[in-house]
Amino acid sequence: MRKLKNFKLAPFLKVHALIYWAVVLGQFTCGYTLGIAGTAFDLAQTELGFSSAWLGLLGAGALIGLAGSLVMGNLADRFGRKQMLMGNMYLFTILALLQFFTTSPMLLFLLRIGLGLMMAIDYTVGNALLIEWLPKEHGTQKQTNLLLYWAYGFALSFILGSVLADWRLLLASSAVFSLITALFRTVVKIPASPAWLASHGKPKRAQRVVQKRMGKKWGLPKQWFHVKQAEAASWRLLFSKQYRRGTLVGSAFYATQAFAFFGVSIFLPVLLKSLGVANAFLSGSLYNLALIGGTVLGLVTFNRLGRRVFLITTFGVSTGCLFLMTFGRQMSNPLLLTIFIIFAVTLSASLLLDYTYTTELFDIKVRATGVGFVITMSRFGAAAGTFVLPVIIEVAGPYVTMLVCGVVLLLGTVICAWLAPETNPKLTSVKA
């Protein structure tokens, strides 16, 4: 019998490209949907006259729904990745369109939570499927590239939000991108994860999937045929001695980062207005360009540094920028904007850790459950930031708001400096 080549050592083939773009489209859609909320609900508040508390809740709605990543990740570890990714964007499209037909804050809030649940599938299941299919030498790079497309979606939401004045149309516009994503996934027929199938006692089926999509010369690693069938992943396992350090670090860095990033980014128009920035559109455009620039900078430097060094450095610089803006109230607007852009660049660079570092903290046995859990923790942080920020701006002003964000980021920096493990495969393999 001819010896088959390990499919994880294959070059980047058509099946990898199709899975990659299926996940990329989902990330673009998620970035756009989260970004459009601030502008749309700011317009809705003016038209409908609801309170700052409702503004914060509506902005946080999708992020609250994303907290369902814990459940979605666990379902994916129990029942597989494929079907969840094949259906979530169709449901997303329906929920996005329904936003156009209601002016009730409560109904809008519930719809945003539903959208967040659909995003949770892309964040957890899509990320797990991608890393389990991609060849080893391409996995980390392609995974980190996802953030760039997420940032493109987020930046596009700011541009369209400056052109369209109808908040209902802005919210419903997410349906265009989600429908494109859903149709693409249907046409390419996303394959099941060979790693998941093998870990659940189905190596022969996994082999057939690999050979159907990659060719007869490719197959599973030999050891995958002797893997004991995995027990159903339990959330409690994440707090066992084997996984609790990764669980704590992943939750701490992701939650504190999300608190500052989403709190500032989603309600950027409100924050800039309260800071007295004269040309909010120009400033907002520079900020969003800085988000993309920071992502590109991160892509260039990320794999050249240890994950631990990258994490602590980006968090430290972002924290310092927020404290400078808080205590430098007399500085000129150009200097304030410069520091604000440095903050945007470094914090957006740190977002590269969200996809790569979280998956590296957990093995195949609990990967989707572990990633789902830390995403859930991050969404609590993000939801808190987006709910609290407009209220704090109204009550205490922008400088106190930035101080709160700075303190939260500092907490994350301290925890990670104490506990964050190094997971960069190049460095850990050298150590081994």
Residue 92 lies in a domain: yes
Residue 391, pLDDT > 60, answer yes
Q: Is position 373 within any domain?
A: yes
DSSP states along 320-349: HHHHHHHH-TTS-HHHHHHHHHHHHHHHHH
Residue 255 domain-assigned?
yes
Q: Which residues pair with 6 in a beta bridge?
A: 219
pLDDT band of 413, cuts 50, 70, 90: very high
| 172, pLDDT greater than 80 | yes
Alpha-carbon distance values, 220 to 16, 167, 196, 385 (Å): 16, 50, 12, 44
Residue 342 belongs to domain with CATH number? 1.20.1250.20
Asked if residue 308 lies in contact with residue 421, where contact means CB atoms within 8 angstroms, the answer is yes
Which pLDDT score, from 0 to 100, does residue 186 have? 94
Q: pLDDT confidence of 430, banded at 50, 70, 90?
A: very low
Q: How confident is the model at residue 112 (pLDDT cuts 50, 70, 90)?
A: very high
Asked if residues 116 and 61 have their Cβ atoms less than 8 Å apart, the reply is yes
In a domain, 283, yes or no: yes
What is the structure's pLDDT at 290?
82
Q: Ranked by mean pLDDT, which of 5-19, 72-86, 364-378 comes out on top?
A: 5-19
Number of domains in the chain: 1
**Ranges 23-32, 211-220, 345-354, most confident:** 23-32
User: Domain containing 317: what range?
Assistant: 10-191+233-431
Task: Report pLDDT for 269.
Answer: 61
Q: Is residue 198 part of a domain?
A: no
Domain presence at residue 291: yes
pLDDT over 90, % of the chain: 24
- Classify residue 251: in a domain, yes or no: yes
Q: What is the pLDDT of residues 202-255, one digit of tens each?
A: 888 988 999 999 988 888 887 777 655 555 556 678 888 888 898 899 999 888
For the four alpha carbons of 181, 185, 190 and 196, in that order, the dihedral sign comes to: positive
Average pLDDT of span 396-409: 84
Quote the CA–CA distance of 263 and 404 in Å, as a whole number: 10
Domain assignment present for 2 = no
> Count of CB atoms within 10 A of residue 207's CB?
20
- Distance in angstroms (rounded) separating the CA atoms of residues 203 and 78: 16
Give 347-414 as a DSSP string. HHHHTHHHHHHHHHTS-TTTHHHHHHHHHHHHHHHHHHHHHHHHHHHHHH-HHHHHHHHHHHHHHHHH
C-alpha gyration radius of the chain: 21
Q: How far apart are alpha carbons 385 and 403 in whole angstroms?
A: 12
Quote the CA–CA distance of 31 and 178 in Å, as a whole number: 11
pTM of model > 0.85: no
> What's the number of CA atoms in the CB half-sphere (13 Å) around residue 160?
22
Q: Please, which pLDDT band fits residue 169 given cuts at 50, 70 and 90?
A: very high
